[in-house]
Amino acid sequence: MRIIGLDLGSKTLGIAISDELGMLARALETYRFPEDKYDMAVDYIVNLCQKENVKEIVLGLPKHMNGDCGIRAEISFNFKDKIEKKAPINVHLVDERLTTSIVDKAMIMGNLKRKTRKEKKDEMAAVVILQNYLDKRR
């Protein structure tokens, strides 16, 4: 069964998906929505999960470096609740600290142009979030 990984921003949702064995994550897409219109993103993800027969999501939880949860983390908690109320999908919140930094460094080392890095960073952060989860599960 496939698992989806998500990196939630205020206007974008990076989406990654696992292979059928649940071993490898790959980038799927970046969904763009009007700022703070999270209900649109919830609907999109629920439909995608139904289409791909996904029953499990890994959602990045943006914590402060000291481990505290701020406003962005509260948004992720609410996003999780909305998904679970709309569909029979288990949503796991996982610490996403430093994922964007890891992705930025990797893309710079890969000599990707600034425009490409900007377009792909959310879905690549979702890949890191999902792959970390898959690795820890084994």
For the chain, what are the domain ranges?
Answer: 4-137
Q: Domain spanning 4-137: which CATH class is it, in words?
A: alpha beta
Per-residue pLDDT tens over the stretch 48-96: 999 999 999 999 999 867 778 788 999 999 999 999 999 999 999 999 8
Query: Do residues 52 and 63 lie in contact, with contact meaning Cβ atoms separated by under 8 Å?
Result: no
Q: What is the pTM of this model?
A: 0.91
| Rounded distance between C-alpha atoms, residue 56 and residue 5, angstroms | 9
Q: How confident is the model at residue 99 (pLDDT cuts 50, 70, 90)?
A: confident
* Beta pairing class for 25-32 and 56-61: unpaired
Beta strands 4-8 and 56-61 are parallel
Per the CB < 8 A criterion, the answer to whether 71 and 38 are in contact is no
What pLDDT, on a 0 to 100 scale, did the predictor assign at position 96? 87
> Alpha carbon of 133 to those of 20, 86, 112, 114: distances in Å?
15, 23, 26, 28
